[in-house]
Amino acid sequence: MAKRHYIPVTADVEGVSDGLKAFIRKVIRTALSAEGMTLPCEINVSITDDAGIHEINREMREVDRPTDVLSFPVFDLLPGELPDAEDADPGTGLIPLGDMVLSLERIAAQAKEYGHSNRRETAYLVVHSVLHLLGYDHLDEGEEKKRMRAREEAILAELGITRT
């Protein structure tokens, strides 16, 4: 049997069910598959609140405010470029793609603000983060952002998740 992706999901806040963790893993696996990442890899997911993500944002990025999701890629990839088997950790055989941090508090607030479910907001932010780990960015308002948004929507559609 082929190795699967390793996606540990940890939380330092209340209200993170096994179902939510399983959903996050499913979204990550779907996004990786949609991007052609078939080699076994590792993505570490941390779920926190606004105070927790604010502290991480300040320490790691020197941005003194909370945010919805943070992505810390291991590789400096271009969109559509993937790491290969030589990038795997010799000890685990897994390719370490990076870390993702989600604010459960921000997910709920943004879902309410945008008029959709927490499930949809979670899926969107998880897909968004996976794409960052795979080299996508949206620093400009032009082609990079359009390409990233198109991939996000395609992956969400594959999951059967719409904007409502």
The answer to whether position 164 is within a domain reads no
Q: According to the model, what pLDDT value does residue 145 have?
A: 83
For the stretch 31-84, pLDDT in tens is 999 999 999 999 999 999 999 999 999 999 999 999 999 999 999 999 889 999
For residue 139, the enclosing domain spans 9-158
Output the domain CATH number for residue 57.
Answer: 3.40.390.30
Give the pLDDT confidence of 86-144 residue by residue, as tens digits.
Answer: 999 999 999 999 999 999 999 999 999 999 999 999 999 999 999 999 999 876 667 88
Q: Flag whether 1 is in a domain.
A: no
Q: Encoding tokens for residue 100? A: 């993702």
Position 4 in a domain: no
pTM for the model: 0.94
How distant, in Å, are the alpha carbons of 113, 130, 158 from that of 58?
A: 25, 21, 35
90 falls within a domain: yes
What does the pLDDT read at residue 96?
Answer: 97
> How much is the pLDDT for 3?
61
Has residue 63 been placed in a domain? yes
The sheet carrying 69-73 orders its strands as 9-11, 41-48, 95-103, 69-73
How many domains would you assign to the chain? 1
Under the banding of pLDDT at 50, 70 and 90, the label for residue 164 is: low
Q: Is 1's pLDDT higher than 70?
A: no
Q: What is the pLDDT of residue 144?
A: 83
Residue 163 lies in a domain: no
Whether residue 2 is contained in a domain is answered as: no
- Residue 128 neighbours by CB under 8 Å, 6+ apart: 69, 71, 148, 152
